[in-house]
Structure 1
Amino acid sequence: MRIGIVTATYQPSRNGVATSTALFAQGLRARGHDVRIFAPRHPQMPPHETGVYRLNTSFAGARALGAPADYPMMLAPGPILTGKLPLRDLEVVHTMHPFLAGQLALGWARLAGAPVVYTAHTQYEQYLHYAPMPKRVSRAVVRPHVAAFARRVDRVLAPGRAMIDMLREYGYQGQVGLFPNPVNLAAFQAANGQEIRAQHHIPADVPLVMYLGRLAPEKNLGVMLHAFEQARASRPELRLLVVGDGPSRAELQSRSREGVTFTGPLPYERVPQALAAADAFITASTSEVLPMSMIEALAAATPLVAAQSPAALDLITEGLNGTVRVPTPADLAAGLLHTLAPERLKTMQRAARESARQYDLTERAAALEQVYAEVLAGKKRRR
């Protein structure tokens, strides 16, 4: 199949949508498909990218709208650039966004006579504090737009139950397919965390806790740090690595206590090593859909200690590959101590790795191929 994926964020940007899109492209190409990515330009993008077509962006516009620093705002291409893009022979168009990228996907699909698949990745209302307008105004704009967009496409997918609930709340009552994000299981199974531990002077026998992700207000990181402090009061040998970057980093780092190290961002190719170095992964966020970092932690045999959320309930089988707790420091600290107890940690690590098999890239790519085949067949029948 000739597949066009239209996305408002792509590597080298560091976020779950960019990562999962790149993985799906890799998996689909391995199955023999022609995958074309239409994505925003990025100052750190490689000089030569096979099958990636970059569109103009505005970092100033993105900042004005409150977007993350690593998230350029894509601009609508003019007729000259559009005429140079390989669009007319596309058989399926897939978009990750209901706004500009989604509108481009709809227009390009009409040009090619192709069906459109939409994956709803983002709980937009969790990020309205970034927008330069009152939340009630943003909400009044976002909800009807997302619902209307979902009604215009041929298939709607969601990586987790939280997104299905969101779409229903927004007023979309059509069919939504639960479609989890992928992980390159082999890369995480082969990873060794010794180098990461050595870099941060953490001996092999010291229990290491890790958070990996964006450092921003919606991640509830203050609660996470307090939870770690309370757990460390019982087990002073514990260490915490906070991996990532974001607007909250400086403030969090200034008030963190002994045993906590902020590493800054890591290149994606080192993420398997980082997660393999950890004994447990902790998150206090309640805004996640189905975060790549949590799936990747499971693939690296790192059990999860997570605040109660739809994403945590999707991923965690209580007491086996992790634990779900009320998002308070005391409850998360108790969950961390429970998970790190020597008598159960090894069993939970094995269960974590086993539970990640369902997200393996080869299986997820085959499932996405099937979705495309179904919508393509449906389009042909309607003709």
Structure 2
Amino acid sequence: MTKIGSAPPATCSPTTSGLRVLMLSDVYFPRVNGVSTSIQTFRGALAKLDIEVTLVVPDYPGREIGGDEWRVVRVPSRAVPRDPEDRLMSPGMLYHLDRLLSGAAFDLVHVQTPFAAHYASLRFARQRGLPCLATYHTHFEEYFFHYIPLLPRAWLKTAARTLARRQCNSLDAVVVPSAPMVDMLRDYGVSVPLQVIPTGLPDSQFARGDGMRFCVRHGIAPRRRVVLFVGRAAHEKNIEFLLTVVARARATNAELLLVIAADGPALPDLRSRATALGLEGHVLFVGYLDRNTELRDCYAAAEVFVFASQTETQGLVLLEALASSLPILAIAALGTRSIVEPGRAAVAAATTPDGFARQLVDLLANPQRLAELAAEGVRFAHEWGADRPAQELAGLYRTLVARRALLGPQCRSTAPPGETRAPNAESTP
């Protein structure tokens, strides 16, 4: 791990042919979410393309970091009120980011989150005359609705759109993980170039787990029909909807068991709701699982992956399920549409608990259909490998750096009406 305030290791001298990217995020492992996974995946794939990424993220005192900390700078942080999972990086340290990085040279700044990291990235990029882009991971509207519930929804909607528009238009370009996000941001009034680059799957994601081992560990009888949710236990994930689905479906399938591999601020409410619905013996909360071991076993133990969130910018966890040969029943909304709507390996679910429950019961009663979906899911997931998105992101980096070099530090990109991708960008899967 790069120490705060220390010089980068001598072996980390600037590359001679590749780009040097400074990436900032308000979240990273050990905090488990899609942003952390996306950053880790892209950093690994970009390294193969001779692109050196230095990552600035919060520290997580008292939690085991684990994993690869090469060129990761951990900033002292404090807890976020009402959200113990997340951390707020020290504003003073971020304000003096140049000192924190010991004057290291960079070609471009890439921010991953819209909070403290966004403003620190802009300040640093402007001080250095560097291009700055962001990946739009967060659907602000639903985020505001769930976490600021006392204010009128109309006011929150306007505030969310205004914030997103101002943040995006302060940048040189914005990466979005799925095509529907382009239309949404254009409706907000975002005028800078938008490029669709989904997060891909590393080859390691296709390793199979041991479902029997998971069942034995958690006392799940062989006769149980296991369906699975993996993600963060947050209100915007709509997990309570899935509890209602199971409450309806168990009348037809008494062996139904919903495994929830999640943790987060909504977990106490979800446990209470499960009890209120009388779902003892039909819901199993297992918390976060190690991605490289027990989570793979968990995927292998399930028959169907269920997902009801309507706020995803991509829905990376759906691809992970497909890579594990797990059929999907999910509501097709916003970012998940590009995965669910092709209909190859996923079934688009009804948006009502009764309709969703009927589809789930029908799927579990059709082993041939499940087998077909599982086989096609692996083929479909392979089309979302990590290498191609990394190549597209590298192309965008080079375009922005070349444009800045040609037109000078005062230049910022502006997309003409209807433009949805940066120049020379290829389409995505």
Instruction: Give TM-score, length-normalised by structure 2.
Output: 0.81
Q: CA deviation at 1:54?
A: 1.5
Moved more, 137-146 or 178-187: 137-146
Tell me the SS of whatever aligns to 2:91. coil
Matches of 2:107 and 2:199 in 1, distance apart?
A: 22
Q: 1:206-285 maps to which residues of 2 (within 5 A)?
A: 206-254=224-272, 255=275, 256-269=279-292, 270-285=294-309
Q: CA deviation at 1:86?
A: 4.6
Task: Tell me: CA distance 1:190–1:364, structure 2 relative to 1, closer, same or farther (3 Å).
Answer: farther
Tell me the SS of whatever aligns to 1:332. helix
Tell me the SS of whatever aligns to 1:359. coil
Counterpart check, 1:307 vs 2:326:
no
Q: Is the 8 A contact 2:262 2:286 kept in 1?
A: yes
Q: CA deviation at 1:204?
A: 5.4
Q: Which amino acid aligns with 1:46?
A: I
Q: 1:133-148 maps to which residues of 2 (within 5 A)?
A: 134-135=151-152, 138-148=156-166
Q: Which amino acid aligns with 2:311?
A: S
Q: Is the 8 A contact 1:123 1:166 kept in 2?
A: no
Match of 1:355 among 351, 355, 380: 380
- 1:200-230 deviation line (CA, Å, top 9, x unaligned): 2335564321001122222222221121233
Counterpart check, 1:192 vs 2:210:
yes
Q: Which amino acid aligns with 2:300?
A: A
Of Structure 1 and Structure 2, the greater helix share is in 1
Q: CA deviation at 1:94?
A: 0.6
Q: Percent identity, aligned pairs only?
A: 27
Asked which structure has the greater CA Rg, the reply is 2
Q: Is the 8 A contact 1:299 1:356 kept in 2?
A: yes
Superposed CA RMSD in Å reads 2.4
Moved more, 279-288 or 171-180: 171-180
Matches of 1:73 and 1:238 in 2, distance apart?
A: 40
- 1:249-300 deviation line (CA, Å, top 9, x unaligned): 2332242333221112212333333223222110122122212221211111
Q: Is the 8 A contact 1:9 1:40 kept in 2?
A: yes
Q: CA deviation at 1:377?
A: 1.8
Moved more, 241-250 or 106-115: 106-115
What residue in structure 1 maps to residue 126 of structure 2? 110
Q: CA deviation at 1:381?
A: 2.0
Match of 1:46 among 61, 65, 71: 65
Tell me the SS of whatever aligns to 1:69. strand
Matches of 1:205 and 1:117 in 2, distance apart?
A: 51
- 1:70-125 deviation line (CA, Å, top 9, x unaligned): 11122323466641315551012111123321121122223333211211110112
Matches of 1:322 and 1:257 in 2, distance apart?
A: 28
Moved more, 130-139 or 209-218: 130-139
Q: CA deviation at 1:198?
A: 1.9
Q: Is the 8 A contact 1:58 1:72 kept in 2?
A: yes
- 1:340-375 deviation line (CA, Å, top 9, x unaligned): 311211110011111112322222222222221221
Q: Is the 8 A contact 1:215 1:247 kept in 2?
A: yes
Moved more, 13-22 or 205-214: 205-214
Match of 1:74 among 89, 111, 115: 89
Matches of 1:381 and 1:80 in 2, distance apart?
A: 29
Q: Which amino acid aligns with 2:110?
A: H
Question: Number of aligned pairs?
Answer: 378
Matches of 1:287 and 1:381 in 2, distance apart?
A: 39
Tell me the SS of whatever aligns to 2:191. coil
Task: Tell me: CA distance 1:56–1:237, structure 2 relative to 1, closer, same or farther (3 Å).
Answer: same
Q: Which amino acid aligns with 1:347?
A: E
Matches of 2:107 and 2:361 in 1, distance apart?
A: 52
Give ranges in structure 2 of 5+ residues lacking alignment. Answer: 1-18, 409-429
Tell me the SS of whatever aligns to 1:311. helix
Q: Which amino acid aligns with 2:106?
A: L
Q: CA deviation at 1:157?
A: 0.9
Task: Tell me: CA distance 1:334–1:311, structure 2 relative to 1, closer, same or farther (3 Å).
Answer: farther
Give ranges in structure 1 of 5+ residues lacking alignment. Answer: none
Q: Which amino acid aligns with 2:99?
A: G
Q: 1:113-192 maps to which residues of 2 (within 5 A)?
A: 113-128=129-144, 129-131=146-148, 134-135=151-152, 138-192=156-210
